[in-house]
Structure 1
């Protein structure tokens, strides 16, 4: 009986290819099949990060999202579309694994930190031998390029989604000593208003596409809400502690 392939979830870091781990690079280059997720008409950030490391004999497999951030007609359900997409993507990956081919699914940042791979992992990890390699996540990349220590001593840190309703975001942020607010894009104006309303504007920092070639650091007050990309972060570092 043919041995099944092994599934790898590889965190390839936030954008700078040099931030990929040695282990992720080794497993990436050993995999006969490299799967990546991307929006329609794009190759995706994960593939952009690793493409110079791929070998000609490796097969790449695109898993194309049916929808990303666009507004859907009322009769369509985002949750259903995306769930069906991950079901189908998992079976595409499984076909290679059943044929005895290892598959490396690459994921920007870390696979288990808002990473798309986690949904494939949920569907396949009980059926196939699986290994997950962590990667540098966007929150840590943002702190690094902003030169902003996140938390001192016993401070707490919260990771918040900008998609949250305004009052819920305000409630959660007010309970934290330090925070990273992700998933901005069209939510940016709401997020900035909450930060300012809580009196955190003097500590809050903003960066777009941290460590990528098109990285951009802008004072929070000067960001054009219409231009803020999904891959941007607002950091509210903990208050400095004098040692």
Structure 2
């Protein structure tokens, strides 16, 4: 009998935001797999209190490069390594920051293994909702259009997407931060925009976009812009 692959969302960073279901699956899994960026894994750190001693672990080192080829090759290899464990009837929990299917690395394993083995998906709290909680400002209401925009998009595309939206979350900032801020200033959207860095963690930082020090380029950051019909123009840090 084949084992089951669980794609587990671990939430945005605060271990208390891990769901009860995620904690239960993590504590019972035969094998824990998780992505590793540079040297550490945020997903594993969040799950750490629930990992059973002696659980076999499978860290998957993901190259942080713009070209897709190297990362896709890693997912190919990881999928086959996980498949070998599933084929022996073992359960594997793949830990993913935030939600598995919201810009999550788990989607690449689902694509490779979903038609070969049983896969169960455990949703997680996203950094988007954690950021809204941090500034105590609703994301959207009634007929507001909420958009999530990746910062690497070209300026022209970002501007076109920003124009009709009532509420916008800009993610994956990093080296694109200054460019995105300049664009929001040029479009008259910087006033009232808020930045949340490391949402829900002990390193959380909240401040108005216009107060962000020049030269800071945090990757784990979200810019929230509201220009909808409910009058939520401010934010709270």
- Gaps (5+ residues) in structure 2? 232-237
**TM-score (normalised: structure 1):** 0.91
> Is contact 1:8–1:103 with CA below 8 Å preserved after alignment?
yes
**1:118 to 2:138 alignment:** no
**Alignment partner of 1:202 out of 183, 188, 191:** 191
Instruction: Compute the displacement of 1:226 (Å).
Output: 3.2
> 3, 6, 12: which is aligned to 1:5?
3
Distance of 2:11 and 2:175 partners within structure 1: 24
Cα shift readout 1:20-48 (whole Å, capped 9, x = no counterpart): 111111111110101000123x2211011
Structure 1 runs (4+) greater than 2 angstroms displaced: 224-228, 237-242
The residue number in structure 1 matching 2:168 is 179
Distance 1:51 1:237 in 2: 36
Structure 1 gap ranges (5+): 72-77
Q: Which residue does the alignment assign to 1:18?
A: 16
1:48 equivalent in alignment to 2:45: yes
Whole-Å Cα distance in 1 between the matches of residues 214 and 77 of structure 2?
35
Q: Distance in 1 between matches of 2:108 and 2:37?
A: 16
Instruction: Decide which of 74, 79, 98 is 1:90's aligned counterpart.
Output: 79
What's the offset of the Cα at 1:146? Answer: 1.0
Q: Where do residues 228-243 of structure 1 align in structure 2 (5 Å cutoff)?
A: 228-239=217-228, 241=230
Supply the distance in 1 between the matched residues of 2:229 and 2:155 (Cα, whole angstroms).
27
**Secondary structure of residue in 1 paired with 2:224:** strand
Match of 1:75 in 2: none
Instruction: Indicate if the aligned counterparts of 1:96 and 1:103 stay in contact, CA closer than 8 A.
Output: yes
Q: How much has 1:180 moved relative to structure 2? A: 0.3
Equivalent residues, number: 231
Q: CA RMSD in A?
A: 1.4
TM-score (norm 2): 0.93
Find out whether 1:34 has 2:23 as its counterpart.
no
